[in-house]
Chains A and B, each alone.
Chain A
Amino acid sequence: MTETILKVSDLKKSYGDLHVLAGIDFELNKGEVVCVIGPSGSGKSTLLRCLNMLELPDAGRIELHGNEIYGGGKPKDLDVLRREVGMVFQQFNLFPHMSAKGNVTIAQDKVRNRKKKDCDARSIELLSEVGLADKIDEYPDRMSGGQQQRVAIARALAMDPEVMLFDEVTSALDPELVKGVLDVMRNLAESGMTMACVTHEMGFAREVGDRVIFMDGGVVVEQGDPDQVLGNPQEKRTKEFLGLVLSH
Chain B
Amino acid sequence: MEQFFNTYFDFGIMGDYFGDVLNGFWWTIRLSVFGGVLALIWGLILSVLRQLPGRLLSPIRILAIAYIDALRGIPMLLTLLLIAGGLGTLASQDAIPKEIGIPNWLGYPDPFWYGVMALTLTYGAYMAEVYRAGIEAVPRGQMEAARSLGMSHGQAMRYVIVPQAVRKVIPPLLNDFIALMKDTSLVSVLGFVEVVQVGQDVYSETFNPSALTLGAIMFLVFTIPLARLTDWLIKRQESKFERGIP
Contacts and interface: CB of A to CB of B under 8 A. Distances in A.
Interface of A: 52, 54, 79, 82-83, 85-87, 89, 91-97, 106-107, 110-112, 139-142, 148, 152, 155-156, 159, 172
Category for how many chain B residues contact A: 20 to 34
B246 A91 contact: yes
B141 interface: yes
Contacts of A54: 144, 147-148
B244 A93 contact: no
Contacts, number: 74
Contact of B151 (A85, A86, A111, A141): A111
Nearest to A53: B147
Contacts of A142: 244
A210 B150 CA distance: 28
B244 A141 contact: yes
Contacts of B243: 141
Given A82-B148, A110-B155, A156-B149, A97 B163 contact: yes
A172 B241 CA distance: 20
16 contacts: A85-B148, A87-B145, A94-B246, A95-B160, A97-B241, A106-B149, A106-B160, A107-B146, A107-B150, A111-B150, A111-B155, A141-B241, A141-B243, A148-B246, A152-B145, A155-B149
A159 B144 contact: no
A83 B148 contact: no
A140 B159 contact: no
B208 interface: no
Q: Which 10 A-B pairs have the closest CB atoms?
A: A141-B244, A93-B145, A107-B149, A93-B141, A111-B150, A96-B244, A82-B150, A87-B148, A83-B150, A91-B246
B164 A97 contact: yes
Interface of B: 139, 141-142, 144-152, 155, 159-160, 163-164, 167, 240-241, 243-246
Contacts of A85: 148
Of B142, B146, B149, most buried by chain A (CB within 10 Å of CB) is B149
Given A97-B164, A110-B155, A111-B155, A92 B149 contact: no
A233 to B, nearest CB: 32
Given A97-B164, A110-B159, A89 B150 contact: no
Contacts of B139: 93
Given A83-B150, A159-B149, A92 B246 contact: yes
Query: Which of B139, B142, B150 has the largest number of chain A CB atoms within 10 A?
Result: B150
A152 B246 CA distance: 13
Given A110-B159, A142-B244, 7 more contacts: A52-B148, A82-B149, A93-B145, A96-B244, A112-B150, A141-B244, A172-B246
Contacts of B240: 141
A112 B151 CA distance: 10
A89 B144 contact: yes
Contacts of A92: 246
Contacts of A112: 150
Centre residue among B241, B243, B246 by max chain A CB count within 10 A: B246
A87 B146 CA distance: 10
A200 B13 CA distance: 79
B145 A82 contact: no
Contacts of A152: 145
A43 B243 CA distance: 30
Contacts of B246: 91-94, 148, 172
A173 to B, nearest CB: 12
A83 B149 CA distance: 6
A20 to B, nearest CB: 17
A14 B246 CA distance: 28
B245 to A, nearest CB: 5
A87 B152 CA distance: 16
A148 B167 CA distance: 22
A86 B139 CA distance: 20
